[in-house]
Amino acid sequence: MTTPVPVGPIPTPEFEVELGRGRVRFVLARLRLMWRSFRSGWGIFMESRMGRLSLFTIVAFALMAAAHPILMAFVWDPATYDPVTGYSFDQVEQPAPPSWKHPLGTDPLGRDVLSQLLYSTRSEFVLGITAALVTVGIATFVGAVAAYYGRLLDAFFMRLADLIIALPAISLLIVLSALFHLNLFYLALIIGVLGGFGGTAIILKSQALSIKVKPFIEAARVAGGGDFHIIFVHIIPHLLPLALLYMMFTVTSAIFAEAVLSFLGLLDLRMSWGIMIHTANTGGYLLGGTRYWWLIVPAGASITLLCSAFYLAGRALDEVVNPRLRRRND
């Protein structure tokens, strides 16, 4: 019996095709699928108290960040309320305690504290999210590549990670900010690179190792997939949930690092929560205890709240990503 491998399409019986013909319907079906999995994850996230609380806090801060330009354009007089150059002439002495005109008082230089607080929120978000994206981008790639190729590449990246973990991050940042002119973007980049090649890379690599040995990787290779295909189509999608989780933790550490550096006066920023505390400190008002609370509490509480909100969001996401942590309902 001669059986040449058939070349043309083989005849198939008639069947109902649920899927519409054509690219658009095809893409729509895929989008619907993504939406469905997003919805189920969202449900788990919102079920946890940590998730709801963190989301509420983050949204509140985001609204604060959005409110500042609107207030400056329509409500506040820039000469009085500008977070850096404003001066409140109608106060007898600076810093002035909270009043109707200045809900959070003024700082030692006569500037409105609320305006400073709102103005800084935006840069905290920009800093945190940029640093997180850089970290996770690098860590995911490094982790996947180190796990997939193993051997020398793995050894190199893992020793590099050990080195970075061994370095005290804040001290390193102090040295770097003394040597270079650090603005918000460079700070985010440095924090991101340190995190990306550091601990996060090790965690994502160990996850990638457990994916690499799954039979579907072999199946992909038999299908004809090359290294690039296997890393980007099969390994990295499995790392993304964990990467998202570590993004949240990186936001926390980035905001915290910025606050420390600003407090030490090492950053070239117009205004930030750290600088607000720095201003109070240089005027000697930190020693006044609770008497000048409005100089310290708003910025300090904001740092604490936003950092813990992102941390809690990470913990709640952990439950979405990691089914073993979920509370059982049965």
Partner 1 sequence: MESVSNTPEAPNARTPGSEASDGEPLVAVHGLTKLFPVGAGPFRKPSSFIHAVDDVSFQLGHGESLGLVGESGCGKTTVGKLLVKLLEPTDGEIVFRFADDSVAPAADDPWDSAAIRGRLLRSFRRRVQMIFQDPYESMNPRRTIYDIISEPLSVQGMGDVQYRVDRVLEILTLVGLAPAGAFLFRHPHELSGGQRQRIAIARALVIRPSFVVADEPTSMLDVSSRTGVMSLMQDLATELGVAYLYVTHDLAVARYMCHRIAVMYLGKVVELAETEELLRNPLHPYTKALLSAVPVADPGRRRQVPDIRGDLATPIDPPSRCRFYERCPAATERCLNHPHPPIEEKTPGHLVACYEV
Could you list the residues that contact partner 1 (CB under 8 A)? 1-7, 9-10, 12-13, 15-19, 21-23, 26, 29-30, 33, 214-216, 218-226, 229, 234, 237-238
Query: Measured between alpha carbons, how far is 93 from 308 in angstroms, rounded to an integer?
Result: 35
Q: Residue 329 CB: number of other CB atoms within 10 A?
A: 5
- Nearer to partner 1 by C-beta: 31 or 167? 31
Query: Measured between alpha carbons, how far is 136 from 143 in angstroms, rounded to an integer?
Result: 10
Instruction: Give the bridge partners for 106, in sequence order.
Output: 112
- Nearer to partner 1 by C-beta: 27 or 287? 27
Token pair 């007089």: residue: 77
Minimum CB distance to partner 1, residue 117 (Å): 42
- Nearer to partner 1 by C-beta: 178 or 222? 222
Query: Measured between alpha carbons, how far is 282 from 9 in angstroms, rounded to an integer?
Result: 80
- Nearer to partner 1 by C-beta: 79 or 155? 155
Query: Measured between alpha carbons, how far is 291 from 52 in angstroms, rounded to an integer?
Result: 35
Minimum CB distance to partner 1, residue 116 (Å): 45
Minimum CB distance to partner 1, residue 168 (Å): 31
Query: Measured between alpha carbons, how far is 201 from 205 in angstroms, rounded to an integer?
Result: 6
Query: Measured between alpha carbons, how far is 35 from 13 in angstroms, rounded to an integer?
Result: 33
Burial classification of residue 297, based on how many CB atoms lie within 10 Å of its CB (0-12 exposed, 13-18 middle, 19 or more buried): middle
Minimum CB distance to partner 1, residue 189 (Å): 31
Minimum CB distance to partner 1, residue 29 (Å): 5
- Nearer to partner 1 by C-beta: 5 or 166? 5
